[in-house]
Chain A
Amino acid sequence: MPPFPILISKLSKVYATAKVKVVALQDVSLGFEEGVFAAVTGASGSGKSTLLNLIGGLDTPTSGTIEVRGKKISEMNREELALYRRSQVGMIFQSFNLIPGFSALENVALPLVFSGMAKRERGRQAGEVLAQVGLGARTAHRPSELSGGEQQRVAIARALVNRPRVLLADEPTGNLDSRTSREIVTLLAELNRDQGLTIIMVTHEESLVREFAGCSVRLSDGRVQAEEKWR
């Protein structure tokens, strides 16, 4: 097992429009050990989400490399990236990003649709993961019929249904009250502890970071400002 499952080297991302150039990340070099619960913090616009999108294969870097579990995702083409997103990483977001017309079960099963799994098997696996996040009884509900915390649990179940080794969370508690936020982060911490899932969480909430995460990276203006490790 390599010591650094996620290696980021000299990573830069520049968003160029016709008039302006926005440097989102500049020469970021980082490493995340396997099985770590890492927090990424920083002010708005510091490049946190960009970093997460790049690790999640949703975006491609302007320069630099990202290596996840021995694979250079910064060199993958679009189809390879889709396969990577489907099988290697799970992502959750502040706004949950569930499909409104689908039931909880269908939302969770969605990634399996793209891997070509049969419907019955999809339902079985999605049901299992939903039960695991504590929503075994609410599989038929639409997102609009669920509370914010429940929706985020559905999103977590969806991120886990393909059994990835890495979970990327982009401000997962941003739309939740403090009690629910705590529940969600507790759930993430359990997954990290019980299944050895690597979790990288972008967040504002320093209190939760200290309590649950094992290390943190602070970004400022697209650069690494501070790295800390306490567990």
Chain B
Amino acid sequence: MRFRDHIELSFANLWKRKLRTSLTAFGVTIGIGALVSMVSFGKGMQKNVTESFRSLDLFNSLTVFSEGFMASERFDPDQRPAEPVPSEAPGVVLDDAALEKIASLKGVETVFPEIRIPAVVRFKGKDEFRLVQVVPAAVASSRILRFSAGKGYASDEERSLIIGDSLLRQFGVREPPAALGQKIVISSISFDFSRFGPEDLTAALSGERLPFATEDTELTIVGVAESQAFAGPLPIQSDLFIPPGVSKQMRKLPFSNVWDIFRASEGRLGYSALNVRLSSPAFVEPIKKEITGMGFRVFALADQFKEIQRGFLIMNMVLAAVGMIAIVVASLGIVNTMVMSILERYSEIGIMKAVGAGDRDIRRIFFFESSVIGLIGGIFGFALGWAVSGIINRVVNYFLARQGVPYIPYFSFPVWLALGAIAFSVGVSLAAGVYPAMRAARVDPVRALRHD
């Protein structure tokens, strides 16, 4: 039998039983739709992370910590360390001397300390609490930040700042260019013992009167940075960036998180971390070795990226497994439809055999029919998955946008997913057609043609 005849015959047969065919194919559609949206969600998340790693040049980044501190502390101050901080760790302090030493290593492009100043930001009559990050002008202007308006500050001394567009939105500014040139007030907190008498000590210990004072610094907005959708462990991650010169003049606390206080109590404060950018990813390993040799801890994002990839693989598999359940149910529907079809067409099969159809011809007729169901289900299923995830994406982004979260495409539809979904659907349908096809081929023509 010719391929074309198989196609025509199967479409004709399926068309004859439109309702049943469409119900069965609809089952497949739902299954494939579920699978496609699950996989595209997994892939979408993975793509977002991978792309932000790529575009931000994160494979060139290292973060240096003083020995004894967990890499995770910096990213999640609320998280408890996995093990107690060894207080008798060798006292190598992450200070300016260490910074200079690291900066002089071959392959190191820039080094800047990790400084975040807790502050209240006042703009347009509203207050927001934020950690203000101190970033050198050279880094702020590099491609690690993307600007939706304006640019980075020109020098480390300029009295200006960069604001993230999501924070700007919370201040009610929707158009980033409108914010450029406007004044913004950073209110930092610092120790103030000038009006702190001995009689205040007891009150301070119980937390009633603390020796703190605030100081306002007025800065000009020169740039609006796009918020990073997938911040994660980025060296640059804040809603506000100020140059080091401004930071030096600000009165502020000498620590930005609880772990800094621990170290301060041991008399070796230094910086909580140093952000190191290399000229090429090839330097990651040698530099890591050298800095570790100095007695510091080094965290490379490239290493963590591998972990992230592994995590995504597992997540994708779990999502695909959930989608598979619907496919299995749909394939049972195909088996049922095809077996029904055999019973109905029993005499037709007998006739075909009597006029010379071989077992193989009959088998193929049924294989083609089930794969056409799979093909239809696969195409519509992909369309359904695409449509549903498009709607979910819009709805989720609509609500998140109101909270200042930038637009994220949560789903990804690479070409292979479309082709793969359809091919998979056809494949599953073929598998579902095995039993019916075998059964059809075994039909005894004498029994099928017996006229009762």
Chain A interface (Cβ < 8 Å from any Cβ of B): 53, 56, 58-59, 78-79, 82-83, 85-87, 91, 93-95, 97-99, 101, 110-111, 113-116, 118-119, 158-159, 162
Contact = CB atoms under 8 A, between A and B. Distances in A.
Contact of B449 (A79, A83, A97, A115): A97
Nearest to A81: B358
B4 interface: yes
A91 B353 CA distance: 11
A83 B358 contact: yes
Contact of B356 (A78, A115, A119): A115
Contacts of B357: 82, 86, 114
A85 B358 CA distance: 9
A115 B356 CA distance: 8
Interface string B323-362: 0000000000000000000000001101111111111110
B354 A119 contact: no
Closest 7 CB pairs of A and B: A86-B356, A82-B358, A95-B451, A111-B355, A85-B356, A58-B445, A114-B357
Nearest to A87: B356
Contact of A59 (B4, B16, B446): B446
Given A82-B353, A85-B354, 15 more contacts: A53-B446, A58-B354, A78-B358, A78-B359, A83-B358, A85-B353, A86-B355, A91-B355, A97-B347, A97-B350, A97-B351, A97-B449, A114-B358, A114-B361, A116-B1
B12 interface: yes
B354 A113 contact: no
B2 A116 contact: yes
Contacts of B88: none
Contacts of B353: 58, 82, 85
A119 to B, nearest CB: 7
Contacts of B445: 58-59
**Main SS of chain B's interface residues?**
helix
B199 interface: no
A83 B359 contact: no
B438 to A, nearest CB: 13
A83 B358 CA distance: 7
B17 to A, nearest CB: 11
Contacts of A118: 2
Nearest to A98: B351
B83 interface: no
Contacts of B358: 78-79, 82-83, 114
B78 interface: no
14 contacts: A79-B359, A85-B353, A86-B357, A93-B449, A93-B451, A94-B451, A97-B350, A97-B351, A98-B351, A110-B351, A118-B2, A119-B4, A119-B5, A159-B355
A188 to B, nearest CB: 18
Interface in B1-50: 1-2, 4-5, 9, 12, 16
Nearest to B452: A95
B451 A99 contact: no
Nearest to A161: B355
Contacts of B359: 78-79, 82
Contact of A113 (B1, B16, B449): B1
B356 A114 contact: yes
A110 B362 CA distance: 13
Given A79-B359, A85-B354, A114-B358, A99 B1 contact: no
A17 to B, nearest CB: 12
Contact of B355 (A78, A83, A95, A158): A158
Contact of B360 (A79, A97, A115): A79
Nearest to A88: B356
B354 A56 contact: yes
Interface string B414-452: 000000000000000000000000000000011001010
Contacts of A78: 358-359
A80 B445 CA distance: 15
B13 to A, nearest CB: 8
A99 B445 CA distance: 14
A28 B449 CA distance: 23
B244 to A, nearest CB: 81
A91 B445 CA distance: 12
A98 B347 CA distance: 10
Given A58-B445, A83-B356, A99 B2 contact: no
A84 B445 CA distance: 15
Contacts of A116: 1-2
Nearest to B6: A113
A99 B448 CA distance: 13
A105 to B, nearest CB: 14
B208 to A, nearest CB: 92
A53 B448 CA distance: 12
A114 B365 CA distance: 11
A11 to B, nearest CB: 15
Interface in B344-387: 347-348, 350-361
A82 B356 contact: yes
Interface string B286-308: 00000000000000000000000
A159 to B, nearest CB: 8
Contacts of A93: 449, 451
A82 B350 CA distance: 12
Contacts of B2: 113, 116, 118
B5 A99 contact: no
Contacts of A95: 451
A86 B446 CA distance: 16
A78 B357 CA distance: 10
Contacts of A97: 347, 350-351, 354, 449
Contacts of A94: 451
A89 to B, nearest CB: 9
Contacts of A59: 445-446
Given A79-B360, A97-B347, A110 B352 contact: yes
